[in-house]
């Protein structure tokens, strides 16, 4: 029986490119409890409510931008909003308060 092309392509990848699943252990996580870990995993990194509101305002004023980009080449940090060649950036923070 022949394999579908997608499976054949996976087998031809180098061994170093194969992903391995990490073991689920408390040592691998920086979260203090499983509940905190669950909340951290569900937290969105982009397209949050405040970020979308700022982007709508910027677009309405006529400013064009890139979303979720590194502001400088080789920079390991990504900014929420990056403007054209002069590269000013905007970071939108979402804070929550326990009531």
Segments forming the whole domain that contains residue 53: 47-92
Q: Report if residue 87 sits inside a domain.
A: yes
15-58 pLDDT per residue, tens: 555 666 656 554 567 888 888 888 888 887 788 888 999 999 99
Confirm if 82 and 65 have CB atoms less than 8 A apart. yes
Q: Report if residue 22 sits inside a domain.
A: no
* Distance set, CA 22 to CA 27, 45, 62 (Å): 11, 22, 45
Distance, first Cα to last Cα, the chain = 61
Q: What is the pTM of this model?
A: 0.52
Q: Looking at the 3D structure of the chain, how many domains does it have?
A: 1
Specify the pLDDT at position 56: 95
């Amino acid at each position: 029986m022949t394999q579908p092309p997608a499976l054949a392509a996976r087998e031809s990848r180098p061994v170093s490119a194969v992903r391995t699943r990490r073991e689920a252990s408390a040592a691998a996580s920086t979260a203090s409890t499983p509940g905190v870990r669950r909340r951290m995993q569900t937290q969105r990194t982009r397209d949050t409510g405040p970020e979308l509101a700022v982007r709508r305002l910027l677009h309405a004023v006529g400013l064009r931008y890139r979303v979720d980009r590194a502001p400088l080449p080789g920079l390991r940090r990504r900014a929420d909003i990056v403007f054209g060649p002069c590269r000013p950036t905007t970071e939108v923070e979402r804070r929550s308060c326990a009531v």
